[in-house]
Chains A and B, each alone.
Chain A
Amino acid sequence: MGRLSSPQELEKYREGIRRRRDPHQAFITVCGGTGCHASGCHAVVDAFKKVIQEKAKGNGVGLRVTGCHGFCERGPLVVLHPQKVLYQRVKPEDAPKIFEETVLNGKIVESLLYEHPTTGEKIVSEEEVPFYKKQMRIIFGNNGSIDPAQIEDYLAVGGYQALCKALFSMKPEEVIREVKKANLRGRGGGGFPAGLKWEQCRNAPGEIKYVICNADEGDPGAYMDRSLLEGNPHSVLEGMIIGAYAIGAHEGYVFVRHEYPLAVVNIGIAIQQARELGLLGKEILGSGFSFDVQISRGGGAFVAGESTALMATIEGNVGEPRAKHIHTVISGLWDRPTNLNNVETWANVPLIIDRGADWYTQIGTEGSKGTKIFSLVGKVNNTGLVEVPMGITLREIVYDIGGGIPGGKKLKAVQTGGPSGGCIPESLIDLPVDFDRLTEVGSMMGSGGMIVMDESTCMVDVAKYFMNFLKDESCGKCTSCREGTRRMHEILMEITEGRGTLDHLDLLEELGWVTAEASLCALGGTAPNPVLSTLRYFRDEYKEHILNKRCPAKVCRALLKYRILSDVCTMCGRCAKACPVEAISGKVKTKKEKGIPFKIDEQKCIKCGMCFESCKFEAIEVQ
């Protein structure tokens, strides 16, 4: 296929694809997202290929390796179309059975179905699984049905329709007006209105302008941008082209982490295919508008996701943020007007243009419209990527979608917003999730990380963990951020090791304030959140560490005390054998001798927990 030179040619091409595809034809989709890769989807794909080759004998059973479906906890995931039967935790040896029973005979393989965790009911259809049911997958939904490396798949589901609409029936100003009306807010974390940014960039003086897609997702545990780029790269690209048209930019960059190899490959394929079809490059669809995109790969610094640091990196400099007294929309990449948006923000654009702002604004809350993809991880039954309408409560996300806390434990807090987000206590579980509410309670939307914590989590330890990450990932330029994060971490070390004082709490608050107020960029501006939010909601837990030298969640090792209950001890001597430092003494009871109950010498104990693990009689107590 050569370049398409008009919207009519695109529609004709799309019709051709659709005509060739029988909507009733059976096809198998296997999730090829990062989570399913980790659980071995590759072998499953190979097994299906083999089965199809041997048994289908050309009677048209399709196999498609798609992007991430989101339900990573249950991977590898296989969905059979058109019935949309979901099989979970599929192994390569299940492939022949699935093919035989379901594809050929329409029967269900019960053992591979998802079982409702409380009712025990087996669920056949993907849409009926509670994890998916409460979601609203308008951005992420196509991930499960298209092959990211095939532009035809994207076109078949209506891809590049919005681009046609923008290029041929809307003026750039009208596109901006629509995005403004939709009140699309930046999904990278800041929540800045995208339409306003576009308008400022369009109005900025200068012939050459740039648009950038920020795919430098760096939050530990967050992978929604990754999954979008891997699973549906054309949606991001289409958003960028529309944005470039609205702004008047002719060059764009996708800044993606080098650690996301599949994302780099898939966006590269998408760019190539779009170019070949004339959807990218000179005179897009014969409209007279030209725009092209390059990929720039990041080296894995968290701070390089900050817009000015990112631009410095593209320019070939060290990824250090700079002052933004003159905004990047006026003077950004190579001092030209530059509009940067996050992956998910760009992916929202085609939807807004295609279905209109009036449709879009029906979803969400007053100040936050549309949906948000969260990476739901931690102590929750259903980990994975979830796309929910803004305004949904934390309770719905954690319990209805996430399926609650494993092992019957109690929810303690939900950490949102990535490493520099904050911890929201269980008491605020009915909080509606949107940009403003999260900020009000001392956390933030961030790019969409959501870590569920149960009662076995120590909040001081959590703060210490994030502070350790941030002190490493600060670029180190501002004294307030570099020294502030480092000193906060140092104090948290003191507290978790039993050397904390009450003055430390005041000092932490003061340091937090200065780090946030005096640092240049948003990394420093939000870095104290883990400390400040845990101090705000879990101050008693800090005090317990300081005053009673006790870690209530039994996490901070230096504060643990192991004790052998002499009345329970059977004098078997296992613990003494397990102890690596010979801190346990006593005498083994035999038939001839009486024995002496074992005891731990606290001075020698290194709190490794080996004795606790080894005791079969629950005679060792941890305090």
Chain B
Amino acid sequence: MIPITIDGQPVEGKEGENILQVALDAGFDIPHLCYNENVKPYGACRLCLVEVVRRGRSRMTTACTYPVMEGIEVLTQSEKVLRARRMIMELILAMCPGDKLIQDMAKQMGVEQVRFKKDDNKDCILCGLCARVCDEVVGAHAISFAFRGDRREMVPPFLGEAMNCIACGACVVVCPVDVIRMKEEGDERTIIRWKRTLKMKQCKVCGNYFAPWFQLEKFKERAKLPKDFFDVCFTCRG
């Protein structure tokens, strides 16, 4: 175990863990949007900024990308940290002014007004969670960031249909601002943002459409399952 202090309290972390993980487990409240414990930390949203004092030197860094190291002191509520977080929150709120979660977080951090032009036609906050889940958890590699600077976008390849997408909906679940939508109509499931529509398979027992064919084929292939494994839906299989 690696001993560190967070806001003066002694805490222990494990080798390979990052500060955010340890702090959240220990009950500290650090705002974050692009972090999810199931994927590798990325450090895009910059909300989990903390001050880290190591060998007498203090610097601001994102807690999610900083590995726990013996003897570091972490300050999660210093004046500097709160000041920086507030401006970042304001910047995010300007990008995504209509989202409830963002509005609530901003309010909690004392961000009352947005001093920038609001991006009414943008919604995504470019946290990259959808692509990381798709790559690291699902393994479909269906989407990625394209372009750089202020033109950065999360898109399917060549801005067309995401041909690798299995319409599993993991991105839909993980998106913090809820801008990736899925709809099911008849025997079709669509992930609207990735322009991906797939035909669904019908359960031999109950007759419900339960998952896209393409997805089930991928699963069978990956897990080397018998041909008829997905003939029956998850519910009817008992």
List A contacts of B158 (CB < 8 A): none
Q: Are A325 and B67 in contact (CB under 8 A)?
A: yes
Q: Are A473 and B149 in contact (CB under 8 A)?
A: yes
List B contacts of A473 (CB < 8 A): 148-149
Q: Complex Cα distance A477/B49, Å?
A: 15
Q: Are A476 and B145 in contact (CB under 8 A)?
A: yes
Tell me, yes or no, whether A72 is within 8 Å of chain B by CB. no
Q: Are B46 and A323 in contact (CB under 8 A)?
A: no
Tell me, yes or no, whether A607 is within 8 Å of chain B by CB. no
List B contacts of A486 (CB < 8 A): 149-150
Q: Are B150 and A479 in contact (CB under 8 A)?
A: no
Tell me, yes or no, whether B44 is within 8 Å of chain A by CB. yes
In the assembled complex, the CB of A287 is this many whole angstroms from the nearest CB of chain B, namely 39
Q: Complex Cα distance A485/B149, Å?
A: 9
Tell me, yes or no, whether B211 is within 8 Å of chain A by CB. no
List B contacts of A472 (CB < 8 A): 148-151
In the assembled complex, the CB of A312 is this many whole angstroms from the nearest CB of chain B, namely 13
Q: Are A482 and B66 in contact (CB under 8 A)?
A: no
How many positions in chain A have a CB within 8 Å of any CB in the partner chain? 34
- Scoring B47, B87, B116 by chain A CB atoms within 10 A of each residue's CB, the highest score goes to B87
- Scoring B88, B128, B145, B150 by chain A CB atoms within 10 A of each residue's CB, the highest score goes to B150
Tell me, yes or no, whether B60 is within 8 Å of chain A by CB. yes
Tell me, yes or no, whether A318 is within 8 Å of chain B by CB. yes
From B44, B84, B92, B151, A517 is in contact (CB under 8 Å) with B84
Q: Are B65 and A325 in contact (CB under 8 A)?
A: yes
Interface string of B45-84 (1 = CB under 8 A from A): 1110100000000001110011100000000000010011
From B47, B80, B117, B152, A476 is in contact (CB under 8 Å) with B152
Q: Complex Cα distance A318/B87, Å?
A: 28
In the assembled complex, the CB of B227 is this many whole angstroms from the nearest CB of chain A, namely 37
Give the interface size bracket for B toward A: 35 or more
List A contacts of B148 (CB < 8 A): 301, 303, 472-476
Q: Are B91 and A480 in contact (CB under 8 A)?
A: yes
Please, which residue of chain A has its CB at the minimum distance from the CB of B33?
Answer: A479
In the assembled complex, the CB of B29 is this many whole angstroms from the nearest CB of chain A, namely 19
Q: Complex Cα distance A318/B152, Å?
A: 13
List B contacts of A485 (CB < 8 A): 149-150
Q: Are A482 and B88 in contact (CB under 8 A)?
A: no
Main secondary structure of the interface of B (DSSP, over half): mixed
In the assembled complex, the CB of A465 is this many whole angstroms from the nearest CB of chain B, namely 15
Q: Complex Cα distance A555/B80, Å?
A: 38
Q: Are B45 and A479 in contact (CB under 8 A)?
A: yes
Q: Known contacts being A518-B49, A518-B88, is A318 close to B145, with CB within 8 Å?
A: yes
In the assembled complex, the CB of A485 is this many whole angstroms from the nearest CB of chain B, namely 7
Interface string of B115-140 (1 = CB under 8 A from A): 11100000001101000000000000
Interface hits, A451-484 → B, CB 8 Å: 470-480, 482-484
Tell me, yes or no, whether B212 is within 8 Å of chain A by CB. no
In the assembled complex, the CB of A325 is this many whole angstroms from the nearest CB of chain B, namely 6
Tell me, yes or no, whether A487 is within 8 Å of chain B by CB. yes
Tell me, yes or no, whether B229 is within 8 Å of chain A by CB. no
Q: Are A479 and B46 in contact (CB under 8 A)?
A: yes
Q: Known contacts being A323-B65, A477-B44, is A487 close to B116, with CB within 8 Å?
A: yes
Q: Complex Cα distance A472/B149, Å?
A: 5
List A contacts of B116 (CB < 8 A): 487, 490
A-B contact pairs, 18 of them (CB 8 A): A301-B148, A471-B149, A471-B150, A472-B149, A473-B149, A474-B149, A476-B145, A477-B43, A477-B152, A479-B91, A482-B150, A483-B92, A483-B150, A484-B91, A507-B115, A511-B87, A517-B84, A518-B49
Residues of A within 8 A of B (CB): 301, 303, 318, 323, 325-326, 470-480, 482-487, 490, 503, 507, 510-511, 513-514, 517-520
Give 9 closest A-B pairs by Cβ, nearest first.
A476-B152, A483-B91, A323-B65, A486-B150, A514-B87, A472-B149, A474-B149, A479-B46, A480-B46
